[in-house]
Structure 1
Amino acid sequence: MYYQDLFTYMSNNLDYDIEFLQRKTYKEVNDLLINNKVDLAIICSGAYIDASVKDNIEILTVPVVDGKPFYQSFIIVNKDSKLEKFTDLKNKKFAFTDPISNTGTLYAKWLVKNMGENVDNYFSKTIYTYAHDISMQLVSKGIVDGASIDGLIFNYIKKHEPERIKNLKIIKKSELFGIPPVVIPNNLDYQLKSKLQKMFLNIHKDSLGKSILNKISIDKFIIGKDINYNNIRIMNSQIN
């Protein structure tokens, strides 16, 4: 709902009609970018470093949350379980989000690989939920034993809907990763690119824009640095 407020703000600020497209998988969104079906997207950091789009997109801006353009993956379990560390999840049921999600899949697979274990048989069962909040729900209800999720989403729900995470506990947090960026096709019209970038970089400076950002827990947008995603690239290369 609050992202709709952002799109309305963008439309009014840029004097463009904004059409919002949503897809189930991160790959489908990447395909939209590759095929120039969208002019702009907010994508997962894992989707950003995916080989399929590396020559087709560029960072326009990145959000700053709690004073930094970084985020973490959280490994969560049910608070009533006796699971206290990641290795306790061996031979347990585990939920990933999207196959190319950084916080929802890559990080957990890297942990397994880094222990010298085989990802394919480390857990007794794995599923892909395609949504971090669904992964949290499955852990909360005891349908799976653990999950790897986006710390930004966990913290947002903790702040605004704490009842939804009352049955969860975090047993491991990742290092800092570059935050999910706002990206554009690298052949986007230069004037449109400049207008979009200016709008994002200044949205926090007016009262309406600031109130919209507050609702989605974003401080502001800044110019992003590709180097901030190198640790995800390294992790991904070690898995694959």
Structure 2
Amino acid sequence: MKTKIVVLLAVFFMVALAGCSSSSPVKEVRLNNTDNQIVVGYQKNYNEIPLRVAVSSIVSPKETLTIYQPLLEYLEMKLGQKVVLLQRKTYKEVNELITTGHADIAFVCSGNYGAQMSGMELLAVPEVDGDSTYQSFIIAGKHVNASSLSDLRGRSFAYTDPLSFSGHIAPIYMISLLGYDADHFFGRNFYTFSHDNSIQAVSDGIVDAAAVDSMIYKQAIRKFPNLDKSIKVVDKSIVVGSPPVVVNPKIEAKRKEELRSLLLTMHMDPQGKEAINKLDYDKFVDPEEENYSILIPIWLKVKEEL
């Protein structure tokens, strides 16, 4: 398989980014401190084993902490239990945390789930404007003469993560449907390891085009309207279930139901609603399995190229 150049983009987009975390020991991020030192969210001395929450790097590590902190604090308050955030650089590493039992609950990309269905169980899924699905947006710089993915042949292209549905799996699948080999379709390609990095790379002209999460793209345009002047959407993938919340299938049934109930009702609580809004979600709902089973044939077709 053609070697992909891995690019770590240092300072970009919605926030001043911290660099991607290393793949050495799991990083524990303290909720109420920006120096990433260990503290308990509400300064209580909990004796129980903490709830370990893993989050895929759909956005940059620092942005992840910023947007997930209210949710983590809410879980800690409602459960009466210390909550720790586990961040890893790649989706594969997050998969391993949940499937090996080193994380109790995880917020993953749909591609993660499609790649590891047997080791994860759907718990809840975010809903935005009454919709709990999303897709890959193929974006390009406004200066690029392209109106579809096929027009990007020979151009430079940014993927997010090998297991990202919207940032890698979907475009590879779409290229295969065009009758091309993804390894030789683009002039050069690389990974950015977050969707905000990819969006900024296209906006800044570092790369001609990229594949990104449609929800992250829409959030970016709402937050930074001027981005619309430098980037455009040239193609879209099929629609699949939004990035879900999952647990290890071996988790205690009572515990699983407690977590599910808390997520599905938190939009009814003012503090819970505020935490959800920070994620740009309206609420969490029960997942529809058919929105994820559609990933199976896609995964089987492209897995040898990942």
Match of 1:67 in 2: 130
Q: Partners of 1:166 and 1:180 in 2: how far apart?
A: 28
Q: Partners of 2:144 and 2:122 in 1: how far apart?
A: 41
Residue identity over aligned pairs, in percent, reads: 37
Could you say if the C-alpha distance between residues 157 and 22 of structure 1 is closer, same or farther in structure 2, counting changes exceeding 3 Å? same
- Whether 1:105 and 2:146 are equivalent positions in the alignment is no
Match of 1:88 in 2: 151
Task: Give the aligned residue type for 1:117.
Answer: Y
The count of aligned residue pairs is 238
The CA RMSD measured in Å over matched residues stands at 1.3
Match of 2:33 in 1: none
Q: Partners of 1:231 and 1:147 in 2: how far apart?
A: 23
User: Unmatched 5+ residue regions in structure 1?
Assistant: none
1:109 to partner: Cα distance: 0.5
Q: Partners of 1:5 and 1:47 in 2: how far apart?
A: 24
Given candidates 185, 195, 208, the residue that maps to 1:122 is 185
- Whether 1:187 and 2:232 are equivalent positions in the alignment is no
Match of 2:54 in 1: none
SS of 1:180's partner is: coil
Given candidates 239, 248, 259, the residue that maps to 1:176 is 239
Task: Give the aligned residue type for 1:33.
Answer: I
Q: Partners of 1:56 and 1:235 in 2: how far apart?
A: 19
1:166 to partner: Cα distance: 3.6
Q: Partners of 1:120 and 1:67 in 2: how far apart?
A: 37
Q: Is the 8 A contact 2:150 2:178 kept in 1?
A: no
Q: Partners of 1:164 and 1:7 in 2: how far apart?
A: 30
Match of 1:8 in 2: 73
- CA displacement, residues 89-112 of structure 1 (integer Å, 9 cap, x when unaligned): 001111111001100001110111
Q: Partners of 1:2 and 1:117 in 2: how far apart?
A: 38
1:157 to partner: Cα distance: 1.3
Q: Partners of 2:167 and 2:193 in 1: how far apart?
A: 9
Task: Give the aligned residue type for 2:278.
Answer: K
- Whether 1:41 and 2:106 are equivalent positions in the alignment is yes
- Whether 1:19 and 2:78 are equivalent positions in the alignment is no
User: Unmatched 5+ residue regions in structure 2?
Assistant: 1-65
TM-score, with structure 2 as normaliser? 0.75
Q: Is the 8 A contact 1:157 1:165 kept in 2?
A: no
Q: Partners of 2:120 and 2:280 in 1: how far apart?
A: 26
SS of 1:21's partner is: strand
- Whether 1:77 and 2:134 are equivalent positions in the alignment is no
Q: Partners of 1:21 and 1:105 in 2: how far apart?
A: 23
1:235 to partner: Cα distance: 1.5
1:164 to partner: Cα distance: 4.4
Q: Is the 8 A contact 2:72 2:83 kept in 1?
A: yes
Please identify runs of 4+ aligned residues in structure 1 that moved more than 3 A.
Answer: 163-166
Q: Partners of 1:143 and 1:234 in 2: how far apart?
A: 33
Q: Partners of 1:173 and 1:60 in 2: how far apart?
A: 27
Q: Partners of 2:153 and 2:144 in 1: how far apart?
A: 14
1:205 to partner: Cα distance: 0.6
TM-score, with structure 1 as normaliser? 0.95
- Whether 1:135 and 2:177 are equivalent positions in the alignment is no
Structure number with the higher helix fraction is 1
Q: Is the 8 A contact 1:72 1:151 kept in 2?
A: yes
Q: Is the 8 A contact 2:171 2:237 kept in 1?
A: no
Could you say if the C-alpha distance between residues 126 and 200 of structure 1 is closer, same or farther in structure 2, counting changes exceeding 3 Å? same
Q: Is the 8 A contact 1:60 1:183 kept in 2?
A: yes
Q: Partners of 2:279 and 2:219 in 1: how far apart?
A: 8
- CA displacement, residues 109-159 of structure 1 (integer Å, 9 cap, x when unaligned): 011101111111111111011111111111112121110000110111111
Query: 1:142-181 residue pairs with structure 2 within 5 A?
Result: 142-181=205-244
